[in-house]
Amino acid sequence: MLIFLLPLLLSLSASSHSHPLDPLTASEITTIRRVILSSASDQSFSFHYIGLDEPDKPALLSWRPSHAASLPRRAFVIARSDRQTHEILVDVSNRSIISNAIYRGAGYPILTAEEQTVAVELPSIYPPFLESIRKRGLDLAEVVCSTFSVGWFGEARRRRRRLLKILCFLAGETANYYVRPIEGVTIVVDLDKMEIVGYRDRAQIPVPKAEGTDYRAPAGKEKGKRKGGGVKPGVVVQPEGKGFEIEGHMVRWANWAFHLSFDVRAGTVISLASFYDAEKRSRRRVLHRGFVSELFVPYMDPTEDWYYKTFFDEGEFGVGLCASSLEPMADCPANAVFMDGCYAGGDGKPVVIKNVFCIFERYAGDVAWRHTEAGIPGQAITEVRPDVSLVVRMVCTNGNYDYVMDWEFKTTGSIKFGVSLTGILEVKATPYTHADQITSEQYGTLLADSTIAVYHDHFITYYLDVDVDGVNNSFVKSKLKTVHVTDGSTPRKSYWTVVKETADTEADAQVRLGSEPAELLIVNPNKKTKVGNIVGYQIIDHGGTAVSLLTEDDYPQMRARYSNKQVWVTAYNKSEKWASGLYVDQSTGDDNLATWSQKNRVIKNRDIVLWYTVGFHHIPCQEDFPLMPLLSGGFELRPFNFFESNPIIKTQPYRHLPSFNCTSNV
- Give catalytic residues, as residue numbers: 313, 401
What does 574-634 look like in DSSP terms, one character per residue? TT---TT-S--BT--SSSSHHHHHTT--B-TTEEEEEEEEEEEEE---GGGSSSEEEEEEE
The burial class, CB within 10 Å (0-12 / 13-18 / 19+), for 355 is: buried
DSSP code for 534: E
Rounded Cα–Cα distance for residues 22 and 261 (Å): 6
3-class secondary structure, 302 = coil
Rounded Cα–Cα distance for residues 504 and 604 (Å): 5
Burial track 272-303 (b if 16+ CB lie within 10 A, e otherwise): bbbbebeeeeeebbbbbbbbbbbbbbbbbbee
- Number of helices (H), then strands (E), in the chain: 6, 31
Rounded Cα–Cα distance for residues 358 and 269 (Å): 13
Residues whose CB is less than 8 angstroms from the CB of residue 116 and which lie 6 or more positions away in sequence, other chains included: 147, 164
3-class secondary structure, 123 = helix
Strands (E), 202-309: 244-247, 250-253, 256-263, 267-277, 282-298
The backbone torsions φ and ψ at residue 337, rounded to the nearest 5 degrees and listed phi first, read -105, 135
Half-sphere exposure for 292 (CA within 13 Å, toward CB): 35
Amino acid identity of residue 650, one-letter, is: K
Residues whose CB is less than 8 angstroms from the CB of residue 144 and which lie 6 or more positions away in sequence, other chains included: 168, 169, 170, 171, 177
3-class secondary structure, 184 = coil
Cβ pair 18, 340 in contact under 8 A: no
3-class secondary structure, 98 = strand
